Structure 1
Amino acid sequence: MRVNLYAMQSSPLELAPADTKRHWLAAQLAEILRDRLVMVSMGIWVLVIVATPIALWTMGQPGLLAALQAGVLTQVVTVLLVLVRAGLLRQALLAGAAVPLLGWLVEVVGQASGFPFGSYQYTPLLQPQLAGVPVLIPLAWLMMMPPAWAMALVIAGAQPGWRARVRRAAVAALAFTAWDLFLDPQMVAWNAWVWAVPGVYFGIPLLNFAGWLLVAFCVSLLLAPGWLPLAPLIMIYAVTCVLQTIGQLLFWQLAGPGVAGLAGMGGMLAWAYARRTIVRVAEPATN
């Protein structure tokens, strides 16, 4: 049996010695650095995001759109690679198929009916599109949903049972929706989609966030596993928060959403840190 410092199972937790908690961040970082393939993938993703403003300056809108697509795809690959390298191939395949499918269906219904996000329409900017929904959007759901699940495991715990599962789904919905505090104003500013009636949050209706909470809760309740490699997924969540904050404050002239998004995602990270626990569990059985 090997001790895995960033894994959680849906069984009663055996806490590590109290003094180990003082080295929580160092232990999590050590677990991330141990997997070189994940580190390479994460590094490529970060480089793509950092290069996005440069792509805009040098190539204009086509460069920006190409960098945006590359950023989503490299983050999706990184998230799925984290799951596969942790021995969660079945969960990676399930999430990789079900999350984009559900996200796409919700977006199709949302555009047609105004439920659950409010009345909005995608512009032709993001291509390709399927039934009027950019393919990039369901993939963006996939790139952030597992990190939100990892945040929920740290904050709400990995206890078994439906009540605990509901608690984790609720926290995951909060973690996921906090990301949209950055995303929606940025995409509206770039004319990726438009709202029929602009709302009070930098042009975004508050109903949109209620819809995000509802959909993220339902998807998490259905699909979130009870065991995840926590450290790399939380690192992805944290890096997303940092990069979005820097981008919106320094490059995209979106100071308000940048501060609000930092408060939202940063608040979730602070909550996770306050609830931090290093657990000593057996890895999933392998033959």
Structure 2
Amino acid sequence: MIRTLPRLSSQERLVYGMVVVWILTMISVPIVRWTLGDAALPTAVSLGVLMQVIAVCVVLISAWGVRRALTTIGVIVALAWLTEFIGHTTGFPFGSYDYTPRLQPQVGGVPLLIPLAWLMMLPPAWAMASVINLTPQPPLRGERGRQTWGVRLRFIVVTALAFTAWDLFLDPQMVAWDLWRWEVPGAYFGIPLVNFAGWLLASALITFAASRIAPIHTLPTRPLVIIYIITWLLETGGLALFWGLPGPALVGFVAMGGMLLWAWRRSRGR
């Protein structure tokens, strides 16, 4: 007997449609570089980020409604911009770096695309934390304070790990593309190790702030985990095959892949 596939809702069709457009856009980035040169890279990358942002925002709106989703989106973007502004002007918490003029427009020296990049990957990291967390659908707001704070802290920590694993790909790639520069190159393929501590801290704080205004643990995990998986595959293949960065490709593959393996084992164990 043939089992019929479940029908997708209109929101799911839109999400997966945008995911397909995003994949095609990212696959086209090397082609754009070969045909139009390095000057076209920022535009191609910006389009890829925007496609992924739209897919993630559709998930948020379908789960929470327009008002709460837009509030959460605004909080993420505002706090991400503030974090990056403080970071490149003071050196805290990432280390001393500056953005080049290649990504435009910029506000306060921060390209507007950067907070959108935080937005496109934080909800997938939340989904990963939801799958990995010891209790399904953890009650972040509950009656028992100690248990609630323990669940909340675990969720935030796992989110920060899942999000920072992505930066093991991202930072070497963006430096190679001359989108930002470190004042003093560091031990991780030219990236200071303090940068990753900064990513852990910043993503944890933004997740905490978002958890105060929206039930971020209740997002539908399937489309967001799919986005996380596709990001993992695209980054691995892109860095290893097209961008001449096999070292970061291997480390990022292991780090994000380790998060996915952890999530898979948790989901299998329930």
2:56 corresponds in structure 1 to: 79
Report the count of equivalent residues: 252
Q: Shift of the alpha carbon at 1:88?
A: 4.1
- Partners of 1:159 and 1:140 lie apart in 2 by 26
1:69 corresponds in structure 2 to: 46
- 1:146 equivalent among 123, 132, 151: 123
1:13 corresponds in structure 2 to: none
- 1:261 equivalent among 247, 252, 255: 252
Superposed CA RMSD in Å reads 2.0
- Partners of 2:120 and 2:170 lie apart in 1 by 13
Q: Deviations over 1:163-192 (max 9, x none)?
A: 101110000000000000000000011111
- Partners of 1:30 and 1:141 lie apart in 2 by 32
Farther-moved stretch of structure 1 (89-98 vs 77-86): 89-98
- 1:40 equivalent among 9, 17, 36: 17
- 1:159 equivalent among 138, 144, 160: 138
Q: Matched residue of 1:276: which SS?
A: helix
1:189 corresponds in structure 2 to: 176
- 1:246 equivalent among 237, 241, 256: 237
- Partners of 1:36 and 1:146 lie apart in 2 by 19
- 2:77 equivalent among 93, 100, 106: 100
**Residues 204/89 of structure 1: CA separation in 2 closer, same or farther (3 Å cut):** same
User: Conserved in 1, the CA contact under 8 Å of 2:126 and 2:217?
Assistant: no
Amino acid at match of 1:164: V
Q: Normalization by structure 2: what TM-score? A: 0.88
Q: Deviations over 1:125-162 (max 9, x none)?
A: 11111010011101000000000000001111332212
Q: Matched residue of 1:203: which SS?
A: coil
Q: Deviations over 1:208-262 (max 9, x none)?
A: 0000000111111121423111000000000000000000000000000000011
Amino acid at match of 1:237: Y
Please identify which structure carries the higher helix content: 2
Superposition pairs for residues 109-124 of structure 1, below 5 Å? 109-124=86-101
**Residues 213/32 of structure 1: CA separation in 2 closer, same or farther (3 Å cut):** farther
- Partners of 1:88 and 1:266 lie apart in 2 by 32
**Residues 202/97 of structure 1: CA separation in 2 closer, same or farther (3 Å cut):** same
- 1:231 equivalent among 222, 236, 252: 222
Farther-moved stretch of structure 1 (84-93 vs 114-123): 84-93
1:217 corresponds in structure 2 to: 204
Amino acid at match of 2:93: P
Q: Deviations over 1:42-94 (max 9, x none)?
A: 11111100101011111112322211010010000000012223344344212
- Partners of 1:120 and 1:175 lie apart in 2 by 23
User: Conserved in 2, the CA contact under 8 Å of 1:31 and 1:231?
Assistant: no
Farther-moved stretch of structure 1 (231-240 vs 37-46): 37-46
Q: Shift of the alpha carbon at 1:95?
A: 2.6
- Partners of 2:43 and 2:257 lie apart in 1 by 28
Q: Which has the higher contact order (CA 8 A, sep 6+)?
A: 1
Unpaired runs of at least 5, structure 1: 1-28, 280-287
User: Conserved in 2, the CA contact under 8 Å of 1:115 and 1:211?
Assistant: yes
Aligned-pair identity in percent equals: 52
Amino acid at match of 2:248: P
Which runs of at least 4 in structure 1 moved beyond 4 Å after TM superposition? Answer: 29-34
- Partners of 2:6 and 2:251 lie apart in 1 by 31
- Partners of 1:276 and 1:133 lie apart in 2 by 39
Unpaired runs of at least 5, structure 2: 140-147
- Partners of 1:32 and 1:232 lie apart in 2 by 12
- Partners of 1:210 and 1:73 lie apart in 2 by 27
User: Conserved in 1, the CA contact under 8 Å of 2:127 and 2:217?
Assistant: no
- Partners of 1:181 and 1:145 lie apart in 2 by 15
